[in-house]
Amino acid sequence: MNIGEALKQYRTNAGLTQKEFTQNILSPAHYSKIERNLHEISANDLLKLLNQNKIGYSDFFSSLDQNSANNQDEKLSEKLLSAYYDRDLNKAKEIYTQINTSNDNLFKLQAQLILNTLQSGRHKFPKNKDKIIQKVFSGNHWLNDSNKIRILATFIEVLDPLDLPFFLNQIYQKYQNNLDKQTLKIQESVASFCINYLYSASQNKNIGSTNKAIQLLTELTECPELGIDKILGYYYHCYFTAQKEQLEIIITILKKSNLSKILDILPQ
């Protein structure tokens, strides 16, 4: 949990709107971006908010400290995903050893699936795939969890292609017309899912609903962290509508920007 998420939790628990919570300290528009982790808050403004809403400093910062283990897990998860995308089995094994000491059993299952997928090959189904899918995606709560959406995005290639539109429709129904109001982590995870979904659709003619994935990518916030995702969304729009000249322009830009790894995983 970061500062923005912690502030949002205190605000919603108090039943206050963003305007009521900030009053004259920050504009609601600026504060909204802080809650979504799109802007940082100065120490001075943070202390003013805590004082005005009678939130104890120790209570607030303790709530951040309680999540230090989760933050460490998140960093390890990002490193493991990076090793997965780089197809670096040795690095994945090294990170998996660290993850195995975590108290989060779901996190360990995720790590095991990544490792097994690297060992068995991208297009083979690891033995524990169904177990993880059942644990992670039971009910609709996973739609509010950026880590679970990212897990789904990572393992699109080992899921049954016929199941993918079901997951996309759930994400689409949840976030259409409000994706830009979500935290940066949610937006990044949804973008990851959509891009991987579109790649799978380009390789498998049985996967439809590409327009929904492309639409979600257009709804991402206009910020540097999400810029490449929006570009890739346009790339896939051009790909599926056979706009070859536009595709060549985007390919040239990616080449000149030294984004060869991205080019390697794009259909051309």
- Which pLDDT score is estimated for 126? 54
Domain assignment present for 148: yes
Do 230 and 173 share a structural domain?
Answer: yes
Do 47 and 89 share a structural domain?
Answer: no
Within 8 A by CB and 6+ apart from 178, the residues are: none
Do 40 and 87 share a structural domain?
Answer: no
Do 157 and 178 share a structural domain?
Answer: yes
175-229, pLDDT tens digit by residue? 999 999 888 889 999 999 999 999 989 888 777 889 999 999 999 998 888 999 9
Among residues 57, 89, 121, the one where a domain terminates is 121
Domain assignment present for 93: yes
Residue 247 structural domain: 137-264
Do 113 and 75 share a structural domain?
Answer: yes
Closest alpha carbon to 147 in 118, 190, 176: 190
Do 258 and 141 share a structural domain?
Answer: yes
- Which pLDDT score is estimated for 1? 63
Do 24 and 75 share a structural domain?
Answer: no
- Which pLDDT score is estimated for 42? 87
Do 111 and 23 share a structural domain?
Answer: no
Domain assignment present for 27: yes
Domain assignment present for 153: yes
HSE at residue 238, side-chain half, CA atoms within 13 A, is: 18
Of the ranges 133-142, 163-172, 183-192, which one carries the lowest mean pLDDT score? 133-142
Answer whether 21's CB lies under 8 Å from 83's CB: no
Do 209 and 160 share a structural domain?
Answer: yes
- Mean per-residue pLDDT of the chain: 83
Of the ranges 82-91, 131-140, 175-184, 199-208, which one carries the lowest mean pLDDT score? 131-140
Do 144 and 228 share a structural domain?
Answer: yes
Among residues 49, 65, 81, the one where a domain terminates is 65
Confidence grade of residue 59 (pLDDT, cut at 50, 70, 90): confident
Do 114 and 51 share a structural domain?
Answer: no
Domain assignment present for 127: no
Do 185 and 100 share a structural domain?
Answer: no
Q: Is 17 helix (H, G, I), strand (E, B) or coil?
A: coil
Number of domains present in the structure of the chain: 3
Q: Which of 69-78, 125-134, 135-144, 251-260 is the most confident on average? A: 251-260
- Which pLDDT score is estimated for 129? 64
Domain assignment present for 131: no
Confidence grade of residue 109 (pLDDT, cut at 50, 70, 90): confident
Q: Is the pLDDT of residue 140 over 80?
A: no
- Which pLDDT score is estimated for 190? 95
Domain assignment present for 130: no
CA distances from 63 to 11, 37, 40, 77, 103 (A): 14, 17, 18, 22, 19
Domain assignment present for 249: yes
Q: What is the CATH number of the domain that holds 14?
A: 1.10.260.40
Confidence grade of residue 145 (pLDDT, cut at 50, 70, 90): confident
Average pLDDT, integer, range 90-99: 86
Average pLDDT, integer, range 234-258: 92
